[in-house]
Every structure is written in structure tokens, then in C-alpha cells.
Amino acid sequence: MSQGRRGFGRIRKCQPSGRYQASYVGPDEKLHRAATTFAAKVDAEGWLHERRREIDRELWSPPATGEQKKAKRKADVKFGDYADKWVETRTVKGKPLRPRTQAHYRSLLKQHILPTFENKAVARITRESVDRWYSKTAAGTPTLRAHAYSLLRTILESARTRDKLIDVNPCAIEGAGSSDRVVKPKPATYDQLDTLVNEMPAQLQLMVLLAAWCAMRFGELVELRRKDIDLEEAIVRIERAAVRVDGGWKVGDPKSEAGKRDVAIPPHILPAVEHHLAKHTLAEKNALLFPARSGEHMQPSTLYRHFYKARTVANRPDLRWHDLRHSGAVLAAQTGATLAELMARLGHSTHQAAMRYQHAAQGRDKLIAAKMSKMVTDTPE
């Protein structure tokens, strides 16, 4: 490396690259080098000229150290960019987020979080700004509001613990990540289930039966294929689920690790299963049981259009599609199924949800007591 002396600073020609390196001694009496080398000597001279002008005008400040540059980069990280990468790279127990979860997170971000925080630096999100956001967000839908707050808190906790972008998580509202259940679903009765089935188009009647009597989720049903039905063993194998993502469908694992399960088909609906396979399902092993006319996954709107009409006839305008799964869970609990058995049948990885169905089944105690009294009162003298 050759060097040349000048009135202010130094310029060295690097060998063998032939590029030029510029350096100077600043007012702090320390040697400072340009962050990059220059292809032409005149460019190196121009850089030194700018530094000299800064010193003469008392505008000069020491170049940022590596640590300072790193700190600045962290301080400049926008929440929108960080959240997008967080969803993309988030893992739970070493596995990426399931398509359904990822889609849910992106929806919460788009609808409720990014409008406020997208362009704000993570380091500048304060407790006050979170409190203001929370007071206005999804105020009429407490469950959705709790989900949005919980997601924001979790993302910022990663920013604190993993990436060291902040020292304190600004999400500090006690109890904001949980909510009381606003809608307590009322199970459908046997007669109402029969009405729902009969009022649905023939190709969708089995979908109602499996949703209720096998307690299956919508995403599990639309991905159900001929190969998943074992008539000999009378079971349905739930190994996948489909979820709508960005206008299309993505197939992945069921909602939870326990979601992969074999569910016994109640004997009284087996004839309907056999009929559906014979009349409404293609012969291929991979044929969907409930396809759209195109042969692809059925859109939720297609199902709801028919289901809403059927529930009106059944005099249950309050009944949501997911309530059919709830009805099936309560029916299973009424047989005396244990907590572990309910969890296995429903595909729950935690006991809290299954316990709700056991509690709902306990409501039959009054009916049992009434029937006991009826036995006494109806006894002939």
C-alpha cells in the first residue's frame, strides 16, 4: 500500500486493488478512516474536503462507532417490518406457525395493529401509545380485542428478549390479553340437527352430520378426502386442515398438535357416510368429500348460504357453523366421556376447552332429577 501526504488527511493507494483509502486526524485527536475505499483519488480528496469543511464550520462530530451504528439500526426498526418478519419466522416448539395461525395473525395485524403502529419505530412505542390504541381498538368485540392485544404484546416481548430492540415491553394492561366469552353457544337438539341436515343440499348433508356427531372443524371438513374415511373400522382420520390465505387455500396440519386424530363415526350416521361416498364423491383416493363445483376447496360463503337458510327453518337463527362442533362435544360429554377422551375426540391439546363441554353436559342433572321425581309421581297407587 502506497501513501501520499497532504495538508489535511492522508490518501493511500491500496495494493493490489488500486483503490484509494482516505483518513484524517479529527479535533478529538483520533484517526478516522472513510467507511469505504474509493475507485478514484479525486473521490477520496472530495471526501476529505467535506470533513475539513465540517471541522472549519464546527459541524463536525465523531463518526459513529460500530456499537453506535448497531444501536441506531435497532432504533430505526419499524414495527411493520419487524412484525412481518416475526410472523414469517415465528416458531412454536421448534416448528413454524401453522397456516391457520399465520393467517389469523396477519389478519389481526392488518385490521387492528398496523394502522396505528406500522410506521412507528419499535423503540418508540410507549406504554401511553399502547394504552391509547387499546382504548379504541375493537371495543365492541372483546375477544377480538384480546387477541389483537395479546399478539402485539407477544411481538414486542420478542423485540425485548430476543432482539434487544427495547428494554421494557410497553404492553402492561392487566388482563387485556383475555376476555370473557360473550356468546355462550346453545347446543342444537336432536330434532334441530335433523332439520338442519334435511334442509341442506344433498351433497352437504354429511358435512353437517360430521361437524356435529364427529365434532369436526370447518377447515378439517373442507380438506377431508375419500382416503380419510375407513368404513371397515368406522373412523374418520383427521390429518390435515385447509385455511384460506390471501384469497387462496393452504393445506397444513390441523389447528393443534393434538388435532391429528382418528374419530369414531357414530353407527347411526354410517349409512349417510356410505351414501355420500357412493353418490357425491369421485372414485380417486384423493377426491375431496365436499368440493366446490370447480373441484377445489369449497368456499365458506357457499356453505353459509345454505346453512343460514337451514338454521332459520330449524328455528335456530343464533346457531353458528362452529356451534355444531360444540353440539357434538356436548353430546359426547353427555355419554359420560372422560376429560382425556373428550380431548382426544375433539383434538384439544389443553384441558380447558374440553372442561367447558363437561360443564355443559352437567346441565342435564336437572333433567335427570325431574325424571326421578316423575318416576315417583307416575307410580300407581
Per-residue pLDDT, 370:
59
Report yes or no: 43 and 33 within 8 Å, Cβ to Cβ.
no
Per-residue pLDDT, 68:
58
Name 250's bridge partners.
243
Question: Which of these is catalytic: 51, 145, 217, 311?
Answer: 217
Return the CATH number of the domain spanning residue range 190-365: 1.10.443.10
Mean pLDDT of 349-362: 58
Tens of pLDDT along 23-73? 999 888 889 889 899 999 999 999 999 999 988 888 888 776 666 556 566
Per-residue pLDDT, 35:
85
Q: Report the distance separating Cα 133 and Cα 138, nearest Å.
A: 10
Residue 304 is among the residues annotated as catalytic for this protein: no
Question: Which of these is catalytic: 145, 147, 316, 348?
Answer: 348
Helix segments in the chain, DSSP class H: 41-56, 66-75, 79-89, 99-108, 114-117, 127-136, 142-161, 190-199, 205-213, 218-222, 270-279, 300-313, 322-334, 339-346, 351-361, 365-377
Tens of pLDDT along 153-205? 999 999 999 888 888 999 999 888 776 555 577 889 999 999 999 999 999 99
Report yes or no: 100 and 252 within 8 Å, Cβ to Cβ.
yes
pLDDT band at 381 (very low <50, low <70, confident <90, very high): very low
Question: Which of these is catalytic: 100, 297, 325, 356?
Answer: 325
Dihedral angle sign, alpha carbons of residues 143, 144, 146, 150:
positive
Residues 6+ apart with CB under 8 A from 21: 1, 11, 12, 13, 14, 33, 34, 37, 38, 44
Name 96's bridge partners.
91
Question: Which of these is catalytic: 6, 305, 322, 359?
Answer: 322
Residue 2 has pLDDT above 70, yes or no: no
pTM for this predicted structure: 0.60
Residue 325 is among the residues annotated as catalytic for this protein: yes
Q: Report the distance separating Cα 237 and Cα 131, nearest Å.
A: 46
**Domain residue spans of the chain:** 2-63, 74-161, 190-365
CATH T-level fold of 74-161:
DNA polymerase; domain 1 (1.10.150)
Return the biggest CA–CA distance within the chain. Answer: 125
Residue 19 has pLDDT above 50, yes or no: yes
Tens of pLDDT along 356-365? 655 555 555 4
**CA separation, residue 154 to residues 63, 165, 202 (Å):** 36, 14, 45
Per-residue pLDDT, 80:
94
Q: Which three cell numbers, joined as nine digits, stand for 135?
A: 382504548
| Distance from chain centroid for Cα 168 | 25
Residue 351 is among the residues annotated as catalytic for this protein: no
Residue 322 is among the residues annotated as catalytic for this protein: yes
> Percent of the chain having pLDDT more than 70?
83
Per-residue pLDDT, 4:
47
> Percent of the chain having pLDDT more than 90?
51
**Listed residue (233, 229, 187) closest to 326, CA to CA:** 187
> Beta-carbon neighbour count of residue 190 at 10 Å?
10
| Distance from chain centroid for Cα 299 | 20
Tens of pLDDT along 267-281? 999 999 999 999 999
Report yes or no: 189 and 319 within 8 Å, Cβ to Cβ.
no
Residue 297 is among the residues annotated as catalytic for this protein: no
Amino acid making up residue 18? G
Per-residue pLDDT, 308:
97
